[in-house]
Amino acid sequence: MLLVVALVFCASWAWGSITAMSRNWELEQKVSERRLEQRRLELEVENLILEQEYYKTEEYQELVARSKQGKMLEGETMVILPENSEGAINKYDRKESADLEKKSNFEQWMVFLFG
């Protein structure tokens, strides 16, 4: 009888230990995930701070002024070119595809590798 009670006690102690270890492992996994999430958010905040500092620089402001408002520095001349016409675009595409169609596969590789 004493042996049965000891076995039941040992089994319940082992079951409790396994349950506690399993729960601790799950909690440790959650803590690890939260730490990774925290580090990711910290990096994101650092990145946003650096981005905000970049937006305050004169270099960025000059780039925006040039691209959005058409501003330029003293002594610079702005040249505005017209868009390419459809004829010019199609002429280039047809010429290149015609050249490729005339050459064999080996010749195309030689042109690709050696120019």
DSSP conformation class of 73: -
- Give backbone dihedrals phi and psi of 28, rounded to 5 degrees, phi first: -65, -40
The token duo for 76 is 């610079």
Res 56 pLDDT > 80: yes
Q: Average pLDDT, stretch 101-107? A: 80
- The answer to whether residue 8 sits within a structural domain is no
Q: Which amino acid is at 72?
A: M
Give domain status of residue 58, yes or no: no
Structural domain count, the chain: 1
Tokens 């505005």 belong to residue: 80
Say what the pTM is: 0.46
How much is the pLDDT for 4?
87
Question: Would residue 45 count as lying in a domain?
Answer: no
Residue 105 lies in a domain: yes
104, part of any domain: yes
What residues make up the domain containing 89?
81-115
54 within domain boundaries: no
Per the domain annotation, does 27 fall within a domain? no
The pLDDT of residue 23 is: 94
Q: What is the torsion angle, in degrees rounded to the nearest 10, for the CA atoms of residue 93, residue 99, residue 105 and residue 106?
A: -130
- Taking only the tens place, the pLDDT of each residue in 77-90 is 777 778 877 777 77
Residue 105, CA distances (Å) to 87, 97, 111 in order: 29, 13, 10
| Residue 111, C-beta contacts closer than 8 angstroms, at least 6 positions apart | 103
Task: Please name the amino acid found at residue 49.
Answer: I
In the chain, the amino acid numbered 45 is: V
Question: Is 101 inside any structural domain?
Answer: yes
